[in-house]
Amino acid sequence: MKQFIKSMLIMLCMLVGTTTAFAQTNNHQQRLSREQLAQVQAKRIAAELKLNRAKTDRLVKTYCACQREIWALGKRLTPRAGRSDVKERFARSQNILDIREKYYDEYSKFLTDEQIEQMYRIEHRMMKRMADRAHRKHPRQ
């Protein structure tokens, strides 16, 4: 009986250790690069817009190109980061607006205005959801 309990205890420890190691590995694999995240977002947007395969591929390509241009502007300027120059923030906002206007012309080649508007709403909702998760994970003190 003691041997049986000892064996069960060893198996339980191995099971817990294996599960913990798997969970850590799985969490590590879930971390996506910016490019991968943009692709996932674009595919989700395409699915919600119910686009066919050709339009989905074109949306992913165009959306990722747009995101790369926005990322090239550098990090967001926020007062919390010690950068409170309003003119710098206005300039960045204008640059983003210029990029969005450029890509509106690209999107309008294969999407309707209503789809483009819906795409931006979906994108905004996804960004808000990610920000909410980040705030829950790392609350301000």
* Region 57-75 average pLDDT: 94
CA distance linking residue 79 with residue 7, whole number of Å: 59
Tell me the pLDDT band of 114, cut-offs 50, 70 and 90. Answer: very high
Residue 64 vs residue 77, higher pLDDT: 64
Q: What is residue 137's predicted lDDT score, i.e. its pLDDT?
A: 78
pLDDT in tens, 21-57: 555 545 555 778 989 999 999 999 999 999 999 999 9
Show Cβ contacts of residue 122 under 8 Å, excluding neighbours closer than 6 positions. Answer: 44, 45, 48, 49
CA distance linking residue 14 with residue 43, whole number of Å: 39
CA distance linking residue 84 with residue 107, whole number of Å: 34
Weakest mean pLDDT among 2-6, 47-51, 56-60: 2-6
SS (H, E, C) 54-110: HHHHHHHHHHHHHHHHHHHCCCCCCHHHCCCCHHHHHHHHHHHHHHHHHHHHHHCCC
* Region 70-84 average pLDDT: 72
Give me the percent of the chain exceeding a pLDDT of 70.
72
Q: What is residue 84's predicted lDDT score, i.e. its pLDDT?
A: 62
Q: What is the reported pTM?
A: 0.69
* Region 65-84 average pLDDT: 78
Q: What is residue 4's predicted lDDT score, i.e. its pLDDT?
A: 63
Tell me the pLDDT band of 90, cut-offs 50, 70 and 90. Answer: confident
Residues in the chain: 141
Tell me the pLDDT band of 79, cut-offs 50, 70 and 90. Answer: low
CA distance linking residue 95 with residue 74, whole number of Å: 11
